[in-house]
Chains A and B, each alone.
Chain A
Amino acid sequence: MLSIDGVLLDFKRLDSLATGDSAIHRLDPRAKVLVTFVFIVTVVSFGKYELTAMVPFFIFPAVIIGLGNLPAGYIARKIALLCPFALVVAIFNPVFDREVLVQLGPLGITGGWISCASIVVRAALTVGAAIILLAVTGFPAICRALERLGMPAAFAVQLLFLYRYIFVLTEEGGRASRARALRSFGNKGLGMKTYGSLLGHLLLRTWLRAERIHMAMLARGFTGEFHTRHEFRFGRREHLFLLCWSTLFITLRLQNASQLLGSLVTGISR
């Protein structure tokens, strides 16, 4: 894995995108969560050999990146970084599935390659959707949306607590790990023995912190609820947003838009 500080920096950058202020950012988080969910389910519901029909779905990330004013290059890079992982699993498909499905002149494309490409496209779409949802909504707002949609309150509190302390503890862990690395010339001391006590120390400090937090909470009269600045409302814009995107996804699911457009342009049809 990359250096912890690098990961943390990246983490913060993604987190800070949610502070943007655009029409998309201002929508009720519930609408965005629901649309993302419909998007992901329609994308994964495609059969394993469908490739062309999935491509029109790129319209969703593209439009949201545009409207939400997100840094397209950064998000594309984040998605691209994850594609190799999808490829690792997908690469077995061409090995096991050698049936030729498409004949392009002398070039025969096997079902394995098609499903391999389909897995990578799927991964890019679903991973992209998750990152974009986070970038235009923000983690606390997503938690709150999920809570309003029926997630148990105890779990919501757990998520918000986790989010609050993740940066603190990762920084602390990063410092400890850097100190260990600096003291272990020639890599001696990076083994299991020091690792156990390093984590043990981190754990003890975490535990003490939790006790302090609990006392601070009691002192401030915490009742088990986090409060927010914004109160969102599921209004007309949200209904419209949800309805339009869902209709589009379902239409694209039923109609292969790429194929239609291709036939229209090339004049070849079945």
Chain B
Amino acid sequence: MTVDAPTTPRAPAEPAPRESHARRWRGPGWGFLAKLALMALVNAFGVMTLLSAFRVESWVVFSATLVLLLAADVVYFTRRSLPLKYLLPGLVFLLVFQVFIFGYTAYIAFTNYGTGHAGTQEQAVEAALIQGERRIEDSPTYPLSVVERVGELGFAVVDENGDVLVGSAEQPLEEARDAEVGSGGVPTEVPGWDVVPRTTVITDAELQEQIAGLRVAVSEDPNDGSIRTRDGSSGAVYESTLVWDAGAQTITDTTTGTVYTANDQGSFVAEDGSALPTGWYVNVGFENFFRLFTDPALAQTLLSVTVWTFAFATLSVVLPFALGLLLALIYNDARLKGRRFLRTLYILPYAFPAFMSALLFRGMFNAEFGVINDLFFFGANINWLGDPWLARAAVVWVNLWLTYPYYFLVCTGALQALPQDTLEAASIDGAGRTRQLRSIILPLVLVATAPLLISSFAFSFNNFTVIYMFNNGGPAIPGAPYALGATDILISAIYDISGVSGGAADYGLASALSILVFAVVGGISAIAFRQTRKLEEFQ
């Protein structure tokens, strides 16, 4: 093979030292100019991301961007690492949007991330204090102007001393030097900010809504409260009835005197057991994994989901393969005229987009109005989608329709590649047609298709689209938590549990289940790995 080309270093075509392509300038090289322009764009975007990550203090994004940007510049502006010049773009996407995501899934699986535990403790404290905010009785009102800076709204107020203070949702009040106060007593000019005219504030309903929701912290300490306004021309200090004590890790409700203490489950809990609605996420160790196996309602449902997943994946390989192989055997016959035409018609279901097929069958299997009951069962009212076993049969049927053409194509290819002389020799030796089929054709076809069968199994195992589009995994299993249904496979169960589509979210539990499915897929892949021995190709 040509791949096993020289491993010894090739003799340099030109005498060293050679300049890098990147720095060599031979007239107006379009390639070089294009690269320069692209790298300028990449650097601009990278620096922008760095600045913005720095501003919102997102250190993971900051460091990842920094590393990637440096790597890109080093790879494309030095003459080393030629292969990396070709690999880097794909590699960056692979690392960020696939490898990192796997790692992140594993991380989330060990936390209680979800509804009520969706941020850091700092964010949880802030959210709790905001929810408990009331206007302080007889607190002074300050003359106020609404100010704006590149899409960001803020307030400018005049305090008791006549000084102008300015701030926004992200930045607490601070003194604005050289600001001017107009005749109405409100700030009219604030350096660095545009004062929004009073008429605009009154007429723009959307702006009014934003202003009503805006709160500007008085200082860095969340206990000091914040400025809010009702009318856009005067502001008052709102303080939370809750007080945060960072040292003692407690939040005290000043109206009732209840003390909420931070616990290691990421919640603020009072002595009587009541808790504040906002918590933060913490590492919970293997708790999510234990819950999958020990929570009785969940474990039982998941067991049936798992069994069905294996059954669905197996049936989705065996039945279509059998049908496809049978059709391939029958129609791989030179005496038939119009084979190409027949083949095209046979594979039409495969060329029809899968998600639309599943939706189409969802309508066709409808119990009341569906065409299947109407035409093929003489108007009987068979509840295909509502009965667990009928729904399972129907979804296997749909998948059979969807995938048999794939195996038909693959098996036809394998049959046409069979060694003709072997078959001839067999027939001379007196082997009948069944004998040839059993002893020569089938083994050879199976050898050619076995790796495909294994990868199809792994694919069907996670075939979310067909299951979800056909019947949402329904009909629901009575008494099951998280709206799990009889045709749900593991991946659609994870979707239901995660709550990303609405409802209470439990990202931690969903990720823990994802990790287990990853392990199963990994196991299947290991078998495939050994079977296909693809590794041998690139030795």
**Do A and B interact?**
no
